[in-house]
Structure 1
Amino acid sequence: MVDPTAKEDLSSTLDSSLYDDVQTLFKEMKSESCSRKGMLVWNLQRKVEVNPSCSLSIISILVQKLEKKLTKVSKLHEKKTYMSVIPVLHTLYYVVIQSGVTIPKGLYHKAYECLGKLLILPSPYSAVALHTLRSIKMEMTAPGSLYLKRVIAEQNIKSQHFAAREKVFVLADPAVFSVSLEATVRAYLEVSRRLTNTRTMEKSMLFHVLQTGLEMTCQSSRLAQALEVLEDHDVRQYFQNVVETVKQSLQHGPGSRADYLKGLQQIYKDILAASEKDVMNDEQGPVYSTTVPLPEMNFLMWTDEEMLWNLLADFALTSGSNFIKDGKERISRDSGIVKDLEDPDDAVQPPYTAQKTLRERRNAIKSSKSAEKLSLMKEKMKEDVTGNSPLLKEERSHTARVVVLGDDSTLGKLTKAYYVIRKKEAKRNMLTKKLDLQLYYIPVSEAEASASSPDESRLSLASCLERVDPWYSVNVSSLGAAIPTLPELPSVSRKPTELSLYLLDTLCYYLRCGTQPVNLPVYSVKMTRSNSDLASVEELFVSHLEADIPDFRHLKDRQQREPSVRQKKSSMELFGVVLSVNYTKATLSKREVKGEASMTWRVVITSEPAASASGESYLTASFDSLNPAYNTKIETQNISIRTMEQRTLCVCLDKDPRRTYTDVQKIEISPCLDPGCTIRCRYSIGSEQQLPLSKYLDKVMSLPINSFSGVSM
C-alpha cells in the first residue's frame, strides 16, 4: 500500500523543482548567457513532453507569474515591463498545446481572466495576449482541439472540416554554409522524418483528444489496445468523427462543451465495442505520444534567385486544382510552374484574328474582380494598423513558413526575392489569395569570418531583432550560434541525439510562437554608371551599403601600414572636393541639405529601423576620411551622392560580394515603394492613378521577419 504522505511529498518536491525552473528561466535576460537561457526553455518543454501531468503545475505557476507582472505593469507602464510578459505568454501557450492532460476549469478560468486584463497593453503585446486568450478559450470549449488543429495543418492531413495546410521551407545560403555544414544540418533536420510515422498519426490524435477530453473516464491502456487492433479504414472513420465533433463544438461556442464531451464519449464507446473481440485484457497497449509531432522540414540550399517563387507556386498548385480561376483563364496542375505562372506582361500574345476571340478577351478583362486587384493594398493597410496581415484568412487556408539561415547578405537576398513576389502579385494576384507567407530568420555566420573580423559584424539585423525582442535572442540567436558548431551526426545512429532534438524543438517553437512581424525597411538605390553606354542599375538593400573610391585605396592601405606617417602628406594628394552630397534631414522639418565631402575615401550607409530607433526609420551615412578630423555622419531617409573629377565608386550592397557594382558615378537612395501599393486605374490607359484612400497608406516596402513580440506601435 502506498503511503499518501509520500505521494504528497513527491508532488510538492516536483512542484518546487518546476517553480525553481520557471523562476530561473524568467529572471532578467542579461543574468545568463543566451545559449544557457535557450537550453532552459528547451529543458522545460522536454519535461512536459516526458511527463505531461506536470503541465498542470507549470500552468499554475505561469498564471501566478502573469498576475504578478500584471500588477507591475499597471503601476509602472513601462516598455520593459510589457516586454517581460511575452516569454510567459508564449510558454503558457506552448505548455497548453503540448500538455495532453485535462486542465481543470478553475485553472483555465483563472488564466482566462488574467489574460483578459492584459488586453489593455499596447500592440503588439496585447496581440500576443489575445492569441493566447483565444487558444485558452478554444481548449475550454473543446479540450484537445488546439492540438488537433495544429497537427492537421502541420502534417497536411486530409480533412473536410479543417482546410488549413502548412509547409516549412528551410533555405540556407551557400555563401555561409560550407559543404560539410550543409550535410550536417541536413542530417539533423531529416531526423524529423524518422520521428514522424504518418500511419500512426491519426491514432495518436484520436488518443490525445479522447484522453484530454474524457479525463478519468478514459482508460488509456484499453484505448491504446483498441486503436492498435482496428483496421486503418476504421481508424480513419473514427478520426473524421472526432474532427467533426471538434468543428461543431468550436462553431457553437463555450455553451457546447457538454455536447462535445458526450460526442467524445460515444466515439470512445464505439472504438472499444468495435475492437472488443481482438483486445486481450492482459496485454499492454502501445504508447502513443501526446506531444505535437514535428512537421516535415524541407531543407534546401538557396542557389537560384527564382527558387522561393517556384517553391511557393509549387505548394499552391499541388494543394488543389482550383488554385486560380480568373475570368476565363485557368492554370493547369500538369503543365509546369514556370510556364503556368509566367507574367502576363512578358507572355507572348497570340494573334487574335477572329471577332469571337476578341469578344471573349474583352469579356475576360471586364469580369476580372476588383477585390483581387486591391488585395495587396488591403493587406498593406492591415499591416499598417495591426502589424499583422490577416488578409482573407478564411480564403488563405495554406501557410508557407520560410525559414532563412544566413547573415545580412542573406536577408538582402531574401529582400530581392520578396520584392519580386510582390511585383508579380501586383501584376496578377495568384499566390497572395491562396498562400499566407510567413518569413523567419535564424542568424548564422561563418565561424572563421566572425573570428577574423569581430568589429565588422555580418549580423547587424539580427542585433536589431535582439534589441526589439529579447526572447528572440534567447531562443533564435542562441540556436543560430550553435549551428556552425554542430558535430557531425553519426549515420548509423537511429535514435535522435539530444542536440538534434534541441535543434528541431527550438525551430518548431519559433515557427509556432513567432507570430509577430518586425518590419525591416527596404531602400532602393539607383546607380548611374560613368560610361554612358552602360544603363543605370536599380537595386535594393535592407541593411547596409558601402561605397568606396578605388583611386584612394592605396592611400588608405599605406596609412594602415605606416600609422606614424603624418596625415598632412596624404591629405595633400586628396585636397579638394571628392563627393557632392544632397540629402534630406531625418527630422520633422525634412530640410534639404546640399554639401560637399573632402578627402573622403569611403561612405558607409546603414539602416536604422524604427523597430530599434525612436520614431521613424532612417539611414546613417558615415563619410570616412584619411584625416579623422574630416569624418562626418548624417541621418537621412533620402540621399544622393555624386563623385567629382571623373572619379568612380565601387558599391557593395548588404555586405554581399556577389552584389558589387563598379564604375558608379552617382547613387540615389530613397525608401523603396511597395509594388503592391501601385494599382493601375481601369479608366486610364498606360498610366497609373492614385486611388482615393491610397494617400493614407504607407507605401514604403518593408521585409516582415517574424519574432515573438514584434514592435511596439
Structure 2
Amino acid sequence: MESTEVESDILRRVRTLLRELDGHHPACQCNRGMLRWTLHKKIDLNPSNSSILVSILVKELERAERGDFRHYIIPLLHTLMYTLIKAPCISDELCGRVYDFCKKLLTLPKPFCTIGLDYAARLKMERTAPGMLYQRMVISEQSLKSDPYPYQEKIFIFADPELLSEAICNALVMDTEAAQVSQSPRACMCYVIIHTMQAALGEGCNISSLKASLQDMPTSDMEHWFQQVVAAVECGGGEVSSDRAQHTARLEEIYHAILGSLQAGDAPLGGLQGAPLPNPNISFHLWTEDHQLWKELVLFIRPPSPSCEPDCLSQDLDNFEIQDIISDCECCEQTRFSVLSTDSGIERDLPLAAEDSFSPGSAETEQSRLHRKGGIKKKPSPLESVAFLQAGCNGAGAKPPMKLQRRPGIPPEPAAPLQRLHTARIVLLGDDRILGRLAQAYHSLRKRETRRIFLTPRLNLQFYYIPVMMGQTNTSTATDHAATSPKELCEVATYLGRADPWYESNINTLCHMIPKLATMPSSPSKHLVTDLFITDVIAYYVRMGIQPVCFQVYAVKIFFNDPAQEPAEDVFLTELRTQVQASTSPRELSMTKKRTTLDGPGIDLTVTYRKVVLSDRAKELATSLRSPGLVMKAIPADETEDLACLNVNITEIIRINNLSGRSFSAVANKLKTRNIKIRSMEQRPFTVCLDKDSRRVYRNVISVEVSPCLEPSYCLQRTRAMKFNLHETEDVGLVKYMPKSLLLPINTFAGVIQ
C-alpha cells in the first residue's frame, strides 16, 4: 500500500510538471522552476524510489510519442536521464526500454534525433558498465586524477558588478562556497566507489560494511581502490565484446578485497541507499577586466604553482600574449623565436680560447660552436617557466618532449594529436549587456587563437546564460534617450524561452528569483546548507544543457567626424542604436534650431544596404531620408525567423505642407538586411550605442558600416590562399569548407524546437 501511495505521489508531480509546459495553468505560475527541483530532491531523500520515477517517466514518454505531444519529450527525457545518472541501481530491463525509446527518436527531426542519439550512446555504455555515467561526471567535475578517464571540467560564473547589485554578488559567492564545503577528493572518491558497487551488485552490496571499510582506510589505499574501480568500469564500457556479467564479476572481486576481513553477510544489507552527486567545481568571478575570460581559461589549462605570488602572477598576465606561453612548446615548434644576444652568431667571431680548450672534431667542440655567449639573461615569469610550458603542452594526449637538436638521418617523431581534456563551462549572469561583453571577449579570443593557436586544441568551451533582472535599470546614454525597459534588456532570454520551453521553465524563472533570494535574510547556519537552490539549478543546467543556439556576431566599423581620428572597429550581438548628437556650442545650437524648423527634426542620412530575399540573391539598395535615429535588432521577435538577419527600424521624418503651415510626421521603415552602411549627409554627427550598454557609446560619428563578423581563422586562411591564387575571386581549396561567420553558441536544453 505504501508503494502505491509513493507511486501515485510521483505520478502526480510528473503530471503537474507537464501541465506547466502547456503554459495555461495559472495555479502553477508561482512554482515555475521549483517543480523539477523538488521532484529530484524528493528522490534524493529516498534513492530507492528512483526506479519508480524512471518507470513513470518511460510510460509518459511513450504516451507523449503516441499522442504526438512532442513538447513533452525533451523535458521528460532530461528528467529521466538526470534521475538515471544519480540512481543507485536501475534494472537492465528498464534501461533497455529507455534505450529503445531513444533509438526511436532518430526518425524525428532535430533536435529530437540529436538528443536521442547522444543519450542512446550513453545508455549503451551504462547498460554494459553500470555506474559509468555517474563515475565520469564526478571525475571530470571534481578533476580527480584518473588515467583511464583524464577529463576535467570547471564552471566559471561571470557577473558584471555594474549590472548586478552587491547583495546579489555576495549571495552568489556564499552559495557557491557553501555548496563545496564538504567536497573533498577523498569524499568524492568514496562516493564513486559506493555508487559503482551498488549499481553493479544491486541489493547484494552491503553498503554499511563498505562505508565502514572505506572510512577506516588510509587515503593512499582509498586512492588505490578508486583507481581499480575506475579502470574496471572504463574497461567494461570500452570493450566491444564485454558484457554486464563480466563487469559485475570484476567489481565483485574488488568489493570483497575492499571489505577484507569483514564479510558482506555480517550485517543486514539495508537496501539501496545511493551516494550523493557532489556539486561541480564552481568559481565565481566579477567581470572587471576586458581580457579576464581569456586569463581564467589559460590558468584553468595550467594553474600556477603554489609558490607563485598573486601580485606577480597578475602583472605577468597583464603583459602576456599567447606567443609568450608556447614559444618553446614542442607541439608548436614550427615557429622559432630568437634569444637576444650580443654576438654576431658567426663561428669565426667566437673567442679563440673556446677552440683551444678542445680537440678538433670532438663532441665538446661541436657543442661549443652551437653555444651563444654574451646574451642577456631574463628571469622567467611563472607563466613563462618551463614547468608551465611542459604541463600545459605535454599533458595527456600531447607528444612527449624531445630535444631541439635532431640527429641527421633520423626523422622526427610524428606529433600525437592533442585531446581536449579540459571543458570550461562559462555561465553568464545578467542581461543582454553582459552578452555583448561576451561577444567582444569571444571575438578577441578567436583572434588570439588565429595568431597562435593554444586553447582551441586543448579546451572545449561551452557558454550558458542565466538572465538576472534588477528591475528598472537606467541605461541612458549621453543622448539622454529613455530608459530601456526590463523586457528589452532580456531579449536573448525571451527568445531562448520561446524556442525551448524547458529553458523557460527552469532558467528564465531565475530572472527575478535570484534578486529575491539575495535580499532574503541569511540564516546563521547557511554555510551548512548543501541543498542550495541556485547552485543546484546551475549544476542541472550545465549538466543537461547540451544543445547550442548559435547567434550571429556582427562587426561594426565606425567613422568619426574628425578626419584625423582613426576609424573604430567593434562587434555587437543584440542591438545597435543611433541617435542625433546634441549640439554643444551656442552657434551650432542656433543653426540646429533653424535647420529643425525648416526641415524637421533629425539629420539627413544615406542608407545603403543589401536586402535579404528568399532566393538569397544579393540585391543592393540605397535610399536617402531624414531621421532622428535608427535601431538594428539582431535578435528576432519570433523563434521561427532567421537568426543571421538584422531587423532595422528607421524613423523617417516627412515634411507636410498644407494651408495651416508646415508640419512633420514620423513614419517607421523596416528593413531586413545583413550588410548596411549609414552616413550623415550633414556636418552634424550622431552617437552609436552597442548592445544597450551605456559604457559602449561612440560619439561624433559620421558613418557606420555593419556586416556579419567573419571568423578570424577563415580570414587568415583566405588571405593565405589568395596569395597563391591572385585571379580567384571566390574561396578556393579548403577555405570554402571553413566556417565563415563568427557565431556565439549559447547552450540550452533543446536548442530551437520548430
* TM, length-normalised to structure 2: 0.78
The aligned residue for residue 700 of structure 1 is: 741
**TM-aligned CA distance change 1:648 to 1:495, over 3 Å:** closer
Q: Percent identity?
A: 32
Is this contact kept in 1: 2:322–2:454, CA < 8 A? Answer: no
User: For the residues of structure 1 that align with 2:218 and 2:602, how far apart are their CA atoms?
Assistant: 87
**Counterparts of 2:297 and 2:490 in 1: how far apart (Å)?**
27
Residues 195-228 of structure 1 deviation map (CA, whole Å, 9 limit, x = unaligned): 4233322122111111121012211222222222
CA contact (8 A) 1:203 1:235 kept: yes
Quick check: 1:605 aligned with 2:646?
Answer: no
Mapped partners of 1:611, 1:203: distance in 2:
49
Q: Could you tell me whether the CA contact under 8 Å between 2:179 and 2:529 is conserved in 1?
A: no
Specify the alignment match of 1:593 in structure 2. Answer: 621
Given that 1:189 and 1:299 are in contact with CA atoms closer than 8 Å, whether structure 2 keeps it comes out as yes
The secondary structure found in structure 2 opposite 1:26 is helix
Q: Structure 1 residues 238 and 579 mapped into 2: Cα distance closer, same or farther (>3 Å)?
A: same
Question: Which region of structure 1 is more displaced relative to structure 2, 480-489 or 26-35?
Answer: 26-35
Instruction: Compute the displacement of 1:342 (Å).
Output: 3.6
Residue 496 of structure 2 is aligned to residue 465 of structure 1: yes
Partner of 2:716: 679
Report the secondary structure of 2:175's partner residue: helix
- Are 1:20 and 2:12 counterparts? yes
Match for 1:679: what amino acid? Answer: L
Matches within 5 A, 1:469-618: 469-486=500-517, 487-488=519-520, 490=522, 492-494=524-526, 496=528, 501-551=532-582, 572-574=598-600, 578-587=604-613, 588=615, 589-598=617-626, 600-608=627-635, 612-615=639-642, 617-618=644-645
**2:420 maps to what in 1?**
396
Structure label with greater radius of gyration: 2
Change (3 A) 1:506 1:531: same
- What amino acid maps onto 1:475 in structure 2? N
**1:412-431 matches, cutoff 5 A:** 412-431=436-455
Counterpart residue number, 2:293: 308
Structure 2 match to 1:90: 78
**Residues 636, 642 of structure 2: 8 Å contact kept:** no
Deviation at 1:457, TM superposition (A): 1.6
1:86-129 C-alpha deviation (Å, 9 max, x unpaired): 101111110001111x2112111111111111111222221111
C-alpha contact 2:632 2:648 (8 A) present in aligned 1: yes
Indicate which of 648, 657, 669 corresponds to 2:694.
Answer: 657
Q: 1:355 to 1:479 in 2, by over 3 A?
A: farther
Task: Check conservation: 1:184, 1:489, Cα contact below 8 A.
Answer: no
| Whole-angstrom distance in 2 between the partners of 1:576 and 1:104 | 71
Counterpart in 2 of 1:367?
Answer: none
Match of 1:438 among 462, 468, 492: 462
The one-letter code sitting in structure 2 at the alignment partner of 1:149 is R
Report the structure, 1 or 2, having the larger helix content: 1
Contact kept in structure 1, 2:421 and 2:458, CA below 8 Å: yes
Q: Secondary structure at the match of 1:31?
A: coil
User: What are the equivalent positions in structure 2 for 1:182-261 lying under 5 Å apart?
Assistant: 182-253=169-240, 255-261=242-248
Q: Quick check: 2:650–2:669 contact (8 Å CA) kept in 1?
A: yes
Aligned to 2:129: 142
Quote the Cα distance in structure 1 between the aligned partners of 2:91 and 2:134: 17
CA contact (8 A) 1:168 1:403 kept: yes
Question: The residue matched to 1:150 in structure 2 has which SS?
Answer: helix
Tell me which amino acid in the other structure corresponds to 1:216.
E
The aligned residue for residue 379 of structure 1 is: none
Distance 2:53 2:111 in 1: 25
* Residue 547 of structure 1, CA deviation: 0.3
Residues 514-561 of structure 1 show CA distances to partners (whole Å, capped at 9, x for unaligned) of 11110011111111001011111111000001100024999xxxxxxx
Is 1:65 aligned to residue 72 of structure 2? no
Equivalent residue number for residue 376 of structure 1: none
Amino acid at match of 2:639: S
Distance 1:470 1:291, change over 3 A: same
The change in CA–CA distance for 1:541 and 1:345 in structure 2 (over 3 A counts) is: farther
SS of structure 2 residue aligned to 1:126: helix
In 2 relative to 1, CA 230–611 (structure 1 residues): closer, same or farther, beyond 3 Å?
farther
Q: 1:294-323 CA deviation, whole Å, 9 max, x = no partner? A: 012101100001100000011112399xxx
In the alignment, residue 458 of structure 1 is paired with which amino acid?
Answer: L
Distance 1:53 1:284 in 2: 13
**Partner of 1:565 in structure 2?**
none
For the 8 Å contact 2:432–2:489, the answer to whether it is kept is yes
Question: Contact 2:155–2:280 (CA<8 Å) still a contact in 1?
Answer: yes
Q: Note the 1:51-62 alignment, pairs <5 A.
A: 51-62=46-57
Instruction: Identify the range of structure 1 (200-209 vs 345-354) with the bigger mean alpha-carbon deviation.
Output: 345-354
CA distance in 2 between counterparts of 1:38 and 1:99 reads: 22
- Equivalent residue, structure 1, for 2:647: 620
Alignment partners' CA distance in 1, 2:219 and 2:325: 50
Determine the structure 2 residue equivalent to 1:631.
668
Distance 1:628 1:191, change over 3 A: farther
In the alignment, does 2:119 pair up with 1:132? Answer: yes
| CA contact 1:609–1:617 (8 Å) conserved in 2 | no
Contact 1:82–1:121 (Cα < 8 Å) also in 2: no
Query: Match of 2:197, as an amino acid?
Result: L
Confirm or deny that 1:99 pairs with 2:87: yes
Q: CA deviation at 1:503?
A: 0.7
Shift in Å, 1:703: 0.7
**Cα pair 1:444 1:480 within 8 Å, conserved:** yes
20, 29, 48: which is aligned to 2:22?
A: 29
Q: Describe the SS at the equivalent of 1:517.
A: strand
Kept after mapping to 1: 8 A contact 2:552/2:643: no
Q: CA 1:574/1:165 → structure 2, altered by over 3 Å: closer, same or farther?
A: same
Is the Cα–Cα contact under 8 Å of residues 578 and 629 in structure 2 kept in the other structure? yes
Q: Separation in 2 of the partners of 1:683 and 1:453? A: 46
Cα distance change, pair 280–17 in 1 and its aligned pair in 2 (3 A): closer
User: Which whole-Å CA distance do the structure 1 matches of 2:722 and 2:596 have between them?
Assistant: 59
Question: Structure 1 residues 82 and 571 mapped into 2: Cα distance closer, same or farther (>3 Å)?
Answer: farther
Cα distance in 2 between the residues matched to 1:261 and 1:237: 19
| Paired residues of 1:411 and 1:542 also in contact (CA < 8 A) | yes
Q: Report the Cα distance in structure 2 between the residues aligned to 1:49 and 1:346, rounded to whole angstroms.
A: 46
Deviates more, 1:436-445 or 1:222-231: 222-231
> Cα RMSD (Å) of the superposition?
3.7
What residue ranges of structure 1 are gaps of 5+ in the alignment?
A: 1-8, 74-80, 321-332, 361-371, 373-391, 555-568
Deviation string for 1:273-293 (max 9, x for gaps)? 1557xx9978999x9861310
Aligned to 1:157: 144
- The CA deviation at 1:573 is 4.5
TM-score normalized by structure 1?
Answer: 0.82
Give the CA deviation at 1:256: 2.5
